[in-house]
Structure 1
Amino acid sequence: MAANEHEAKMAHPRMAAGALFFDAAGRVLMVEPSYKDYWEIPGGYVETGESPLQACVREVREELGITPSIGRLLAVDWAPSAKEGDKVLYLFDGGQLSDQMHSQIVLQSDELRSYEFLARSGISGRTIPRLARRIEAAMEARDQVAPVYLEHGKVPAPEGAA
């Protein structure tokens, strides 16, 4: 196989990174974008030359106006989209936001309308099923202190399993 044929077969996924932030009650921070009809978590696309962690820190700073410490990886989700092609999404642990950090949040006004801390039970009513599954799996991974690999927000069946 020629090098250019091999190159043509290689995936070139878009990558995005976000963080889960929690309040003292264990609720997760979600944001209401002005350009979508569902809620999201803070984060966005990885830019050229940027690591997923660096993108997460940058996006949180841009969207929320804060620079909290971003912790360990919680989940990686392979989630291709009919509109956008292959996508690999990284979710990091933003930890519990201190009252001081929470009071410093200033939303990126041209992209975000509002934010709210939501209990696990309220997440699926505010966002699309795939993202709700991803958040739930990442919250479980946080509880288990082990990252999780996902496909479309779900842990895949073992390869070759029926």
Structure 2
Amino acid sequence: MAGGDKTEEPLYVRDPAAWRHALAEGNRFQARKRVAAKVVLHDEQRRLLLADPTYKPFWDLPGGTAEANESPHEAALREVREELGLDFVLGDLLCVEWAPPRDPWDDLLMFIFDGGVLVPERAANLRPVDPEVGDIGWFTPEQVSQRLREDVWAWTRQALLALENKTIVYLTPDRC
């Protein structure tokens, strides 16, 4: 600033309401992502828990879509509680997967968490409590690979490797 000239500062620096308005306008046009959360639960024989949804042709890991302003962690806990009546301590994040659009859905961010190992009594007494789940079962990884849709098995397999290696993995269709 030569000779005491002031350059004009952006309005939002001096006007918090204008700044908030500018942020809100930007937020209005930004992309929204669907978010879902699944849980890898084992029994003491290292079998995985799968749910058989009544609304789709393949088995799946327990979990589901996050609600508005719900964290993936909260969504995983809520979905498993709603589907199976199970309250438990959710473990570490294993994977985040970006899934491209798949008719009729837009793209998706899927968070896969470690649900830990259920003691034999809890594992044996687990039952679906939501009509969206027709059945549940404990399966070996080989059996799981036959029940899941191919792409779901690909990221489930990566989640199991992440659990084994004590790491977190970011997945895309070309990295499964």
**When the two structures are superposed, what TM-score results if normalisation uses the length of structure 2?**
0.80
For residues 78-93 of structure 1, the aligned pairs below 5 Å read: 78-80=98-100, 81-93=102-114
Q: Deviation at 1:89? A: 0.3
Q: Deviation at 1:101? A: 2.2
Provide the aligned length of Structure 1 versus Structure 2. 153
Alpha-carbon distance in 2 for matches of 1:104, 1:72: 25
Poorly superposed stretches of 4+, deviation over 3 Å: 2-8
Aligned to 2:93: 73
Cα deviation digits, residues 97-128 of structure 1 (max 9, x gap): 11232244231341111111111112221111
Counterpart of 1:135, as a letter, is T
Aligned to 1:147: 168
**When the two structures are superposed, what TM-score results if normalisation uses the length of structure 1?**
0.86
Q: Deviation at 1:5? A: 7.8
Q: Deviation at 1:20? A: 0.4
- Provide the identity percentage: 32
For residues 1-162 of structure 1, the aligned pairs below 5 Å read: 8=29, 10-80=30-100, 81-152=102-173, 155=175
Query: Once superposed, what is the RMSD of the aligned Cα atoms?
Result: 2.0
**Structure 2 unmatched runs, 5+:** 1-21
Q: Which has the larger radius of gyration?
A: 2
Counterpart of 2:63, as a letter, is G
Q: Deviation at 1:96? A: 0.7
Q: Structure 1 or 2: larger helix share?
A: 2
